[in-house]
A and B are shown apart, each in its own frame.
Chain A
Amino acid sequence: MWKNRSFLLTLLLSALMFYTFLFSGDAIGMDLNPDSLQDVTLSGYIISETDGEYLEGATVYVEELDRGTATNERGFFSLTMPPGSYTVVIRYLGMETKTMEIELISSIQVEILLEEGELGFEEIIVEAADFRAGIRRSITGVETARIRDLRDLPQLMGEIDVIENIIQLPGVQSVGEGASGFNVRGGRADQNLTLMDGAPVYNASHILGLFSVYNPDVHDSYTLYKGHIPEQYGGRLSSVLDVNTRRGSAENYKVRGGIGLYSGRIAAEGPIVSGRTSFLLSARGADSDIIFTLAGRDRDLARVALPSDVYNSRARFYDTNAILTHRFSDRHILTFSYYKSENYFRYSNEFGYSWNNDLGHLRLRSLFSDNFFSEISVSHTGYRGENFELVGPQSFTLNRGIRNRKVKSDFHYLGFERVSISFGSEMTWHRSRPERFTLNTDPAVSTLNSAPADRGHELAFYAGKETELTPWLILSAGARFSMYNQLGPALVNIYHDGMPRQSESITDVREFSGGERVVHYSGIEPRVSVMLKFDDDNALRLSYNRARQYVHQISNSTSPTPADIWQLSGYHIPPQTADSYAIGFYRDFDNNNIRSSVELYFRNLDNQIEYIDFARLVLNPAIETELVSARGEAYGGEFSIRKLRGRWTGFLNYAYGRTFFRTTTPFEESAINRGEWFPADYDQPHNVSLTAVRALGSNSAFSFSFNWRSGRPITALSAGYLDQGTTVPIFSDRNQARIPDYIRLDVSFTIADHIWKNRAPNPDSRNDDSLNITLYNVLGRPNPFSVFYMRGANSDIPVPNRLSVLGAVIPSVTYNFSF
């Protein structure tokens, strides 16, 4: 029944979209704006002349009216004003400021190209550089950067990496190299909505986090919402990382790429139909086997000379992007993007992982009128993870996965004076893949989890409005209404009311047929933020938002692994919810050369999923028996100061943050730490990052980066006691000790090719070839990724061992080229 209703709703929505697409015109905008019949609208896109990318956050300022706006994530802006002559100033950090005299008689739409700034690399844009418009936005905790502006920072494995970059931001951290994912303001790694062109990515890492899925030649910019999450995003509690791909050039053919010690990449783009249709194709990969293949006849010598663990270990990945863009007209652009990746990691001949992502995304951007903008998209995401053990007769392979399909519509109306409106809807079909366990020694012995694959539908509507109430007060208010249904086929265990959920307390098993509704959850998610602008340099922002999450990653290992379970909400697993509050003060100095901010946040988390002690999650058809619901609280403060211009640029970030959980079960058998508050696995109170970049002339720079983070909590082993002759290990309560602090220093040089070729710099300096040399972890400190316990030959109980993924200095040399 529900299935039919949701299908009809989606159909209705699609019909509406189709209708508006076919019959779009100025009339729609006029109807929506009856009070401003005399006014005209200046709208359009701000585009980088160098690569044709839409610039998010560029400011458009009308001097005569002392009014302005900033482009949205699609590079679009719209300003409504009385007819007249105006001086319009367009600014974007790192670009030349453009001033235009416009005679505005009727509404017009423009495309404004901005050139690279004259200062070139002497004005190096630090990562997460926002823009002067930044303090005009009403929301807290938003960070945005263009990928190309990150290239002078130290680069792990010689490649610009979005995830590695955002981990430098205050309030964002990782539990260490090798971790798949990152944590934002006390949220778990699975509470980040990680998007590639709007399609969710379940695992954004390659080779256990040493690379990410975001190819720097393909992606244009990222926006991280770590405080206030706008109403058009949903389904995750903690943050949204929205990374956009570039369009291929519709005018010229270009090739760019890079080759380094560990990886290589290449991207080609160009027109298919000049001015209308373009392509962008890329491939990237890394493979430790290549080194041994290069050895040729010396391979045997390598086998003898290297430790067996080294020789037998393998790490490789590849990924590809394909992007096709077609411009129907100035008002309608269709983009299709596809992404595929394969990953494999094996430690010696003992254990390993493989995982892959498949993403497809079709998007239609339409400008119905000068101030009515829409984006309609359809996407598919597939994710498969596999872990395997290769040792012993019981060596196995375990497969898991999830997929979702999504239809989304976003509408933005900018026709009211000092008001922007957005609304839309989103429908997602979730389905987990059945868990499969196979014995490697006898593939015929394969066990499928007896629980049917989870299925669920998530439907959300949203609407929001940002209003400039006065020149010094901007209010953004919106809400998202989301609903979720778990669908059959499903077998649901019913447990005795007064007993913990255990196999012994099952009183009944209810069977649901295919498509039948098992359980329904829904709720409103308010999103409100306010900005008080004291003057051009000082602003205060406050925000509140609620979010609900229906998809959860379940792990009882120390860090998310590629093969962790993605579990949908269901009869026994209600959606996680979070109420987030933030307040921030922002101050610019030295004519906006130095930007500072202080933000405080508090997050109240409900229905958090914790695993009980000694939980067994593999092939468990009643996984709810291993889980326990918890309340959580996260709070902290962040300080950031950034220098944006001059020979020395950089930033200093410090964040203090704590996250605690407390189980809510009334049954002491299931409670963790007797129901007391305990720190989250990723609770790292102190986090400092310092980065400085020294310009060394055109297109060349030296930089260093220092990171210090508190060690994360762990359940510690301290001793043992005898019981009937057996030494029983004494572990602490959960997460009562900490592993050593994480400390790392990196240095990096970027040298433009004109220097070693002894020629004049390229007038378009950004197109110079360059060589990047990075020394990662200069201190050679073996920062712990994980602590595991293992019994030694002469030990009755396990002893703690620290695993450092990068325990030495990692040099990298990468040659980046374009032509």
Chain B
Amino acid sequence: MRSNQKIIAILFLAFLILQTACVDEISFDSDVNAGLLVVEGSIHNGPPPYYLRLGQTSAEQNVPVPLENADIVLYDSEGNSERFVDDSKGVYKLHGEIIQGTNGKYYHVEIELPDGRTFHSIPEKIPDQTASGAVRAVPARIQEETASGGMRWVNVVHVFAETDFPESQEEQYYKTQVEGVYMFREEFPASSLAPPPQVCYVTEYPEPQRINLISLQPDTPAAFPERLITVKRIRGHEFFYRYYFNLVFYSISERRFRYWEQTNTLINQSGTIFDIAPAIINGNVINTDSSQENALGYFQAAATDTVRTFLTRSDFRFGVIDPCAPNNPVRHSGCSNCTSIENSTLDRPSYF
């Protein structure tokens, strides 16, 4: 009994001293950043089309609202220009009839919004060279911690990359990224008179918040041996047909490299008070009329190269079920209209 009283007193005191600290999630008034233009676009040394997405931050929602009816013109360093076409939902497409991405040339865009505000990007050069390498994908099982603190096994794919960087007299900046592309076929119609099912090609980023960056000093060629660069968690249905792992090498500008470094810093805040203080990430888009207005995002000029590999359901020890099979208890929402799947297209990639 006395021991119980003692331990109760001790626990009480311990709580008094140490348990008073607390951490809870809060939110800020989102008006702080409302109304800012968000740009995501690029031109590269590959074949057109080139895309640019426009959005505007909003106090009502956590993702930018697509911005339509903007007038966007791409310029190159030789004085050529070509207008983007509004492809709906804030996506603008450049067909590349006049301008195509070429190594060594500078590019920038000028944007006029429906409300009259104008923006431009700081010109960027498509670098003269890019990296090359090889990619390998290996199914695996790993243990991960559950929300309750226990451990469980999950199926994943490990993606390994081997990279060679060319020698250059200038500093080189690279970002490597793994994209996954898989085929999704809608369910077969019950009637033979109905049109055949559509086939979509869905692009996803297996580990989107993992940013692989490399910078090289002048005259320092480098070869990175094979290393793990992405872990793809398996949902199941995406491997029913071929699933391509595209390893994209982006040779980018120093400004773009710093942008990704800063993004990486913010994403990986560890929650200790030793974290670098957060700040707004400045891209290369500027309000032409007012230097006092922020714009977010980037219009990038990059030299790219892609290597790829693929897996199919036969590469896994467990069975992969057709997501649209009649006997599948978990019917996929895209089975009736696969274009409703995010980042899907009916355009078949050349490598499929």
Contacts and interface: CB of A to CB of B under 8 A. Distances in A.
Nearest to B36: A730
Interface stretch (B7-15, B93-101, B218-226, B234-242): B7-15
A789 B278 contact: yes
A528 to B, nearest CB: 39
A288 B13 CA distance: 9
B3 interface: yes
Interface in A307-328: 307, 310-311, 313, 315
Nearest to B64: A721
B275 A788 contact: yes
A17 B176 CA distance: 71
B292 A791 contact: no
Contacts of B191: none
A793 to B, nearest CB: 7
Interface in B94-133: none
Interface stretch (B79-87, B160-168, B259-267): B259-267
A558 B63 contact: no
Interface string A724-748: 1111111111101101100000000
Contacts of A808: 19-20, 22
Interface in B233-265: 261-263, 265
Contact of B292 (A676, A724, A793, A796): A676
Given A613-B280, A674-B292, A715-B277, A725 B177 contact: yes
A787 B208 contact: no
B211 A726 contact: yes
A83 interface: no
B1 interface: no
Contact of A729 (B38, B267, B277): B267
Given A310-B18, A725-B208, A731-B266, A614 B276 contact: yes
Contacts, number: 235
Contacts of B40: 721-724
A543 B40 CA distance: 55
B24 A798 contact: no
Given A310-B14, A310-B15, A731-B278, A803 B266 contact: no
Nearest to A287: B17
B28 interface: yes
A614 B23 CA distance: 25
B28 A717 contact: yes
Interface stretch (B134-142, B151-159, B293-301, B320-328): B293-301
B266 A790 contact: no
B267 A791 contact: yes
Given A291-B13, A556-B277, A350 B272 contact: yes
A526 to B, nearest CB: 36
B266 A351 contact: no
A298 B28 CA distance: 44
B169 to A, nearest CB: 16
Interface residues of A, number: 84
B68 interface: no
B276 A556 contact: yes
B272 A291 contact: no
Contacts of B261: 614
Contact of A719 (B33, B209, B282): B33
B352 interface: no
Contacts of B350: none
A731 B15 CA distance: 35
A721 B58 CA distance: 11
B269 A798 contact: yes
B17 A292 contact: no
A805 B20 contact: yes
Interface string B302-345: 00000000000000000000000000000000000000000000
B16 A789 contact: no
A796 B26 contact: no
Nearest to B30: A718
A273 interface: no
A721 B55 contact: yes
B272 A732 contact: no
B27 A800 contact: yes
Contacts of B294: 674, 733
Contacts of A810: 16, 20
A737 B29 CA distance: 8
A797 B28 contact: no
Interface in A695-727: 714-727
A556 B273 CA distance: 10
B10 A298 contact: yes
B212 to A, nearest CB: 11
A616 interface: yes
B62 A557 contact: no
B274 interface: yes
B30 A611 contact: no
B208 A788 contact: no
B291 interface: yes
Contacts of B211: 726
A801 interface: yes
A389 interface: yes
Contacts of B275: 557, 788-789
Contact of A557 (B26, B55, B274): B274
A726 B16 contact: no
A294 to B, nearest CB: 6
A183 B294 CA distance: 31
Interface string A766-810: 000000000000000010101111110100111111111111101
Contacts of A674: 291-292, 294
A789 B268 CA distance: 9
A305 B7 contact: yes
A100 interface: no
Contacts of A724: 40, 177, 205
Interface string A259-271: 0011000000000
B3 A298 contact: yes
A808 B17 CA distance: 10
Interface in A244-263: 261-262
A556 B279 CA distance: 11
Contacts of B274: 351, 387, 389, 557
A291 B263 CA distance: 44
Nearest to A715: B278
A734 B269 contact: no
B267 A295 contact: no
B22 A732 contact: no
Given A737-B32, A790-B270, A799-B25, A288 B17 contact: yes
A556 B278 CA distance: 9
A786 B273 contact: yes
A298 B7 contact: yes
B21 A305 contact: no
B73 interface: no
Contact of B280 (A291, A723, A725, A731): A731
A515 interface: no
B150 interface: no
Nearest to A782: B22
A535 to B, nearest CB: 50
Given A718-B32, A724-B177, A798 B209 contact: no
Given A719-B33, A720-B63, A801-B25, A796 B208 contact: yes
Interface in A536-575: 556-559, 561
Interface of B: 3, 6-7, 10-11, 13-30, 32-34, 36, 38, 40, 53, 55, 57, 61-64, 147, 177, 179, 204-205, 208-209, 211, 261-263, 265-282, 291-292, 294, 296-298
18 contacts: A295-B7, A302-B14, A558-B273, A674-B294, A719-B57, A725-B179, A726-B211, A728-B297, A732-B280, A782-B24, A788-B275, A789-B269, A796-B209, A801-B24, A802-B24, A803-B21, A808-B22, A811-B16
Given A295-B6, A718-B28, A729-B267, 12 more contacts: A291-B17, A298-B3, A302-B11, A311-B14, A389-B274, A613-B282, A716-B29, A729-B263, A730-B33, A731-B266, A737-B29, A788-B275
Which 7 A/B pairs are nearest by Cβ-Cβ distance?
Answer: A725-B205, A790-B271, A613-B279, A807-B22, A716-B28, A718-B33, A725-B208
